[in-house]
Amino acid sequence: MTHKRILPATRDERGQISDILYKTPFQHAAIIESKRGGLIRGNHYHKNTTQYIFVTRGSLRYWYQPFDKSEPVKSILVSEYDLVTSPPYEVHALEIIEPNQFVVFTDGIRGGEDYESDTFRVAPILTPDMIRR
């Protein structure tokens, strides 16, 4: 997992431009909106796909662990203009803290009929009893 704050690449009197992905290949992009907090998304990993999550509104807690469980489950708070990268074989889950919106970019099969082609469900690393209320 990598996490970084996206800063403006340029700005002037009209506003600013922020590069989310630069010189990074991807095949699919989707916008995901969550209407309320207290939800869980994910609890899966991808064998061939790298996934980038860019939060545009609200926040979420990103939970992650290597597939081989060589490290404990960890989490990080992800806020507006943060980008999180999930590499292949990283189990990840999203704790939706509040209503939010994020864009998911994927380098690999992920959209349309292929949505579940490289998605592998596992024993959850995030369960409802772990959600902070």
- pLDDT at position 11: 95
Contacts of 116 by beta carbon, 8 Å cutoff, 6+ apart: none
The pTM score is 0.90
Q: What is the average pLDDT value for the chain, to the nearest integer?
A: 94
Q: Which residue has the higher pLDDT, 108 or 124?
A: 124
CB 67 within 8 A of CB 73: no
* Tokens of residue 71, six digits: 């490290």
Interval 104-120 mean pLDDT? 86
